[in-house]
Structures are given as structure tokens and as C-alpha cells.
Chain A
Amino acid sequence: MPGRRELSSGIDKRVKMPEEKTLRRPPAEFITTQLNYVLGWARKFSLFHYPFVTACCGMEYMSAACAHFDIDRFGAGWTRFSPRQSDMLLVVGTVTQKLAPVLKTVYDQMTEPKWVIAFGTCAVSGGIYDNYAVVQGIDAIIPVDVYIPGCPPRPETVLDGLLKLQEKIQHQDQEWRWKRRRS
């Protein structure tokens, strides 16, 4: 069944109480699960991305975004050049120590829900540059959802990464206003 949720945390999963085994879900949960599914579907197909382009991977990003290998057909076409209007941060290329505070600021300016894709090996782990000037992977600065390796990754790899992110968005617990987000 799409959007099936597990029991929330707080219950010790090692010990199954006899009542829980026969726990019947209240009927209202069916509605929220379906809403979850619909919200996930809507969010994954309308991703506005903010391309934080720095280096060579920017060229492959441009190729992936243009006519030959289109990311528009996956709903992620429109580039929003403002962090407040986008929900996916696409960190493309090497992030240096000088640029790290800028990346953090941009990430903090984005509104929830937000996802981050690390595009290219330099963003994933520092790449071939293991020296004084390069941050060894942006997960040292911001939390990352999908890592796309490659130097630079082929556009097909980028599309694969995007699809994985879409899958993740579909199946994650969509935020509700009255629930606190569990990270």
C-alpha cells in the first residue's frame, strides 16, 4: 500500500507487547496516509532547485538541464535563483574553505521542506583535491540527501540521482504543521 508508515519511535522494538501485535489502526490513519502519499507525489514532481554551481560539474549540470537530457521532464525544470523560493539545493562542484560560510548561509535561508543533492565527487568527498583549500565533502557543512558521484557525472547519472531523490521524497514522512519534524 503506498505511503505505509511504520509505528513511530518511542516504542522499544525489541520487545513486542502482546497488545501491540494485534493493534488495529484507527480509520483516520488511512486518510493521513493517503494525504501523505499525495503530498509526497506533489512535492517530488515539482522540485524547484537552486543550483549552487562552482566548478566543472556546472557544465554537466547545464547539459543535464538542457534539451538533450532534460530534467524538466521529471518536474525539476525550473531553476529558482533564490534560496527562499526553492526547495532543492543542488551543490555542483568543489566547495572551498572560503566558500563554506556562503553555502551554509544559503542553506539556512532555504525554507522547509528542503533537500540537498551533492553533485560530483568534489561535493561528495572533496574529490581529487585533498589539500588545504577544499572542504572534503559538503556533508561536513550541511546534511545531504542524495550523493551523485562522478567527475563529472554523466547526465544520465544525474537523472538517476534525481529519481532516487524523488523516491526518497515520496516515501519519507511528510511534515505536518502539528507534528514536530523528526530528523
Chain B
Amino acid sequence: MAMEKTALLALLEQKFPHDVEAAFTDLGDEVVIIQKEALIPVVKFLYGKPHEYTLLLDITCVDYLGQEPRFEMVYHLLSLAQNKRLRLKTRLSEKELRIASLTELWKNANWLEREVYDLFGVEFEGHPDLRRIFMYDGFEGHPLRKDYPLRKRQPRIRLRE
């Protein structure tokens, strides 16, 4: 894991000294680990000029069962002007499974956050319509968590045999 810092990472560390926990380059990807309260300020800073990370590629979550804090939110951003990608990571603990929503900045955050809520149970503050997207209403549990068994069946209608 190469620990060189590019100009952007150095700038971020300078501007948000308390919130940025780590900023490094990993296999060619730029990665920034921040505190969860600083998500909106950092993202707004990156959205504006001259960086212009205006395309939200992805929001996802990883469940590190056994570690505390257990969940890690991963955001991928793309800057069309500079042609660069950035990965933002922040940790959430199981008791405080809440984070600010990005729906004001990006419209596709709506569905992406619904997906993370459905599969992991993370709640997004400020989301206009937080409900399940992949599983049907009435499904119990959050499937992609590590403690949900793979083969647990929850049939929606009564099955024969």
C-alpha cells in the first residue's frame, strides 16, 4: 500500500485537520477516511470548483463483523473535469447506525441509500423516502449483514410441498 499523497489529499488534510483520519493512495486509487459528521462539508468542498467531483458513482457499505465500529460506508466519486476518482470511507458503529443523506446534492443518492438501508440497515437522515428497494415489504432482517444466513428462506406466499 503506497502511502504517497497527491495534491488533493494534502489539501484535504490541511482543510479538515480534525475530520480526515487518513488520506493515501492505494493501488492507484485515492482514498480518504473521514469522520461521519464531516461527510457533508467534505463532499460539498469536493463538489465545488476547482475539484468538481460532480458524479456520484456509488454508495456502499461493508460489514466488518467482530470489529468495532462494525460498518464502513464507502462513497465513490468521479470528477469529469479532472478525470479522477476518489473513495471516501467512514465508519459507523452498530448502535449509532445513522449518517447524513446526500440526496440534496445528488439525485441518484436516493436509490443508492435505499439499497444500503435495505441490505444493511443503515439509516440516512434527511432521506425523503427511506424504504426497502430490493426485498419486498415485510421482509425481516437485512440480508447482506454477516450474521444473516445465506440460505434462510422467507417465502412471500405459501409454497407447495
B154 in the interface (beta carbon within 8 A) = yes
Q: Complex: how many Å from CA A97 to CA B143?
A: 13
Q: Complex: how many Å from CA A100 to CA B161?
A: 15
Against B, the Cβ 8 Å flags (1 = close, 0 = not) of A136-147 are 000111000000
Against B, the Cβ 8 Å flags (1 = close, 0 = not) of A90-114 are 0000000110110010000000000
B155 in the interface (beta carbon within 8 A) = yes
Against A, the Cβ 8 Å flags (1 = close, 0 = not) of B112-130 are 0000000000000000000
Residues of chain B within 8 A (CB-CB) of A131 are 150-151
Given A98-B135, A140-B161: A132 in contact with B143 (beta carbons within 8 A): yes
Q: Complex: how many Å from CA A130 to CA B143?
A: 14
Say whether chain B's binding surface is mostly helix, strand, loop, or mixed.
Answer: loop
A135 touches B135 (CB 8 A): no
A141 touches B160 (CB 8 A): yes
Interface centre among B135, B159, B160 (most CB of A within 10 A): B159
B157 touches A132 (CB 8 A): no
Q: How far is the CB of B138 from chain A (nearest CB, A)?
A: 10
Q: Complex: how many Å from CA A140 to CA B149?
A: 22
A133 touches B143 (CB 8 A): yes
B153 in the interface (beta carbon within 8 A) = yes
23 contacting pairs across A/B (C-beta < 8 A): A97-B136, A97-B154, A97-B155, A97-B156, A98-B136, A100-B155, A100-B159, A101-B157, A130-B150, A131-B151, A132-B143, A132-B148, A132-B151, A132-B152, A132-B154, A133-B134, A133-B135, A133-B143, A135-B155, A139-B161, A140-B159, A140-B160, A141-B160
Which residues does A use to contact B, with CB under 8 Å? Answer: 97-98, 100-101, 104, 130-133, 135, 139-141
